[in-house]
């Protein structure tokens, strides 16, 4: 996990270095840069895979191609076997992306399974930038007449360039010769519900088993690390499932599993997380559970940092970001990577509004699930990435594994609808019966900002915020949102809200 900066065109090295320095928090372990002709690549590294040998920019044995990458390529071992181990000089998973692009060109992006934003260059001046299909890892760009600039975060850009900054679209690559090209859809075109309700009936054990196995595999793949992995444990169903699978994996490999929970004293999240940790520890004897108590003053003090870190002012994201930031600050001193439960609600219809009109119609529900999964990159994923990377901590989201996404969205939407005796995410709960205590397996949905106790404190903190002149086209819906926007506007002066909200056109 890292931060990247790239430029192609009329290079201003000082500007590029300034941009890289502004995202040093994303990779505090190492800094690397290289210029070749009209291309500049920069990298801030958080050392997780091949700590000693994974310095970036990566290059091939002939030093004719270069790559900087942010993220993880989870199938890098398979790519090594397919392309030939003799090509590889490091144990870095990012080197798989380098050789895939050397051998196949942009088509090589299709080989990569994981979360990534990358920039690739050759000695001859060729250049390519790309972002993973779901946009799990961030990438922004600013297109000037004489230079194109890329960076992992909005704050990286000079104020003069900020009005031009846009979110680089997920599943796309860009090169000077080919322009912007889609190489993968967030939701593959072939993913459609397998059968209608009248044909599907009640799900069978085969489907339950498939859901469980896909999630187990996704979690195990994300335990990949040379420096240890923990779990953010809110006590909700999704993070508890991740923790249960990770604990099983850690026990089989003779490892302990650190889990981290945050909340106000007596908050429901802290209590539920403690129940999960004690249950798993009794089964596996390998849980190291950590609780971070958040006082009202802690939440208020963290608010400006949280808004600045997540580069967003949406109230639901900010409420979640404050405890998330405190959790990341603590966890980063103990592990380099954590697993989270992001994505499960969007895949299995966990939010209450999914079960209200007009989404009581199966086709409408399916369309909304597909839409919200596709928009995660500028909402919950943006909050999750920035809050953790503010302290050089990598967050990994097993539920957003491509196989899990494809399976979940191929399930008839009728199987995700509630009814008499049928709670939300029943299929997911059934898949992990016996893995968790019943009280957690059937715990109702509670937003992170609510369960941690942050919501009321933050609403009060900005209740008397002064009126704010919002940018054109920005509608501030509540006094709370106006207060968060004022912080955002002060800290990210010059950035257009569209860059945060993902509303720019992609052509």
Task: Note the pLDDT tens digit of each residue in 71-113.
Answer: 999 999 999 999 998 888 888 899 999 999 999 999 999 999 9
Q: What own/partner pairs with CB < 8 Å and gap ≥ 24 does 108-113 have? A: 109/173, 109/183, 109/184, 110/183, 110/184, 111/75, 111/79, 111/82, 112/73, 112/75, 112/79, 113/73, 113/74, 113/75, 113/401, 113/402
Q: How many CB atoms lie within 10 A of CB 130?
A: 28
Q: How far apart are CA 293 and CA 276, in angstroms?
A: 17
CA distance 58 to 2: 13
Cis geometry, peptide bond prior to residue 57 (ω within 30 degrees of 0): yes
- 2 has catalytic annotation: yes
Query: What does the buried/exposed string (b/e) look like for 251-284 if buried means 16 or more CB atoms within 10 Å of the residue's CB?
Result: beeeeebbbbbbbbeebbbbebbbbbbebbbeeb
Selecting among 2, 16, 173, 384, the annotated active-site residue is 2
3-state SS, residue 263:
strand
What share of the chain in percent tops pLDDT 70?
A: 92
Chain segment 25-42, per-residue pLDDT in tens: 998 788 999 999 999 999
pLDDT tens per residue across span 257-268? 999 999 988 888
Residue 237 has pLDDT above 60, yes or no: yes
Structure confidence by residue, pLDDT tens digits, 344-360? 999 999 999 999 999 99
φ, ψ for residue 81, nearest 5 deg? -65, -40
pLDDT tens column, 395-454: 999 999 999 999 999 999 999 999 888 899 999 999 999 999 999 999 887 665 566 777
**% of the chain residues with pLDDT over 90:** 72
- The distance from CA 186 to its chain's CA centroid, rounded to whole angstroms, is 14
Nearest alpha carbon to residue 258 among 219, 234, 285, 287? 287
pLDDT at residue 483 tops 90: no
Write down all domains in the chain, each with its CATH number in brackets.
2-182 (3.60.20.10), 228-464 (3.40.50.620)
In tens, the pLDDT along 102-131 reads 999 999 999 999 999 999 999 988 999 999
Q: Average pLDDT, whole number, for the chain?
A: 90
Give the annotated binding-site residues for L-glutamine: 93
Distant-in-sequence, close-in-space partners of 11: CB < 8 Å, separation ≥ 6: 35, 38, 39, 40, 147
User: Confidence band (pLDDT; 50, 70, 90) for 1?
Assistant: low
Tell me the pLDDT band of 54, cut-offs 50, 70 and 90: low
Binding residues: 93, 262
Q: Give the per-residue pLDDT at 196.
A: 54
- pLDDT tens string 136-152: 999 999 999 999 999 99
Binding-site residues for ATP sit at: 262
Res 481 pLDDT > 80: yes
């Amino acid at each position: 996990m890292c931060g990247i900066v790239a430029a192609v065109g009329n290079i201003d090295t000082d500007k590029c270095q300034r941009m890289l320095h502004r995202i040093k928090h994303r990779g505090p372990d190492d800094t690397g840069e290289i210029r070749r002709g009209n291309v500049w690549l920069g990298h801030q590294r958080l050392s997780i895979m091949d700590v000693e040998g994974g310095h970036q920019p990566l290059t091939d044995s002939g030093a004719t191609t270069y790559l900087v990458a942010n993220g993880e390529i989870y199938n890098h071992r398979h790519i090594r076997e397919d392309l030939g181990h003799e090509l590889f000089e490091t144990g870095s998973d990012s080197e798989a992306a380098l050789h895939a692009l050397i051998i196949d060109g942009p088509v090589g992006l299709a080989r990569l399974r994981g979360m990534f934003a990358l920039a690739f260059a050759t000695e001859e001046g060729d250049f390519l930038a790309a972002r993973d299909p779901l946009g799990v890892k961030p990438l922004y760009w600013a297109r000037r007449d004489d230079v194109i600039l890329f960076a992992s975060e909005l704050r990286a850009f000079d104020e003069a360039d900020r009005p031009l900054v846009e979110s680089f679209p997920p599943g796309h690559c860009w090169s000077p010769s080919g322009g912007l090209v889609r190489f993968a859809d967030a939701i593959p075109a072939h993913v459609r519900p397998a059968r209608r309700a009248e044909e599907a009936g009640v799900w069978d054990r085969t489907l339950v088993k498939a859901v469980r196995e896909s999630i187990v595999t996704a979690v195990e793949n994300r335990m990949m690390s040379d420096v240890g992995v923990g779990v953010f444990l809110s006590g909700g169903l999704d993070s508890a499932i991740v923790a249960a699978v990770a604990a099983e994996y850690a026990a089989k490999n003779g490892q302990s599993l650190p889990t981290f929970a945050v909340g106000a004293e007596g908050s429901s999240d802290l209590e539920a997380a403690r129940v999960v940790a004690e249950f798993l520890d009794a089964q596996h004897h390998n849980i190291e559970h950590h609780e971070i108590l958040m006082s009202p003053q802690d939440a208020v003090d963290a608010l400006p940092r949280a808004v600045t870190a997540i580069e967003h002012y949406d109230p639901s994201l900010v409420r979640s970001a404050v405890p998330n930031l405190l959790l990341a600050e603590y966890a980063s001193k103990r592990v380099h990577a954590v697993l989270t439960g992001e994505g499960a609600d969007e895949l299995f219809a966990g939010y209450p509004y999914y079960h209200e009109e007009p989404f009581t119609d199966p086709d409408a529900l399916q369309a909304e699930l597909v839409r919200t999964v596709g928009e995660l990159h500028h909402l919950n994923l943006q909050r999750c990435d920035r809050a953790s990377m503010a302290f050089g901590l990598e967050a990994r989201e097993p539920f957003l594994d491509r196989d899990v996404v494809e399976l979940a969205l191929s399930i008839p939407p009728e199987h995700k609808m509630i009814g008499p005796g049928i709670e939300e995410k029943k299929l997911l709960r059934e898949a992990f019966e016996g893995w968790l205590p019943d009280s957690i397996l059937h715990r109702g949905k509670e937003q992170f900002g609510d369960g941690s106790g942050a919501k009321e404190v933050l609403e009060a903190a900005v209740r008397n915020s002064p009126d704010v002149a919002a940018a054109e086209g920005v509608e501030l819906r509540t006094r709370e949102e106006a207060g968060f926007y004022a912080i955002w506007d002060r800290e990210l002066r010059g950035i257009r809200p569209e860059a945060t909200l993902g509303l720019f056109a992609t052509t």
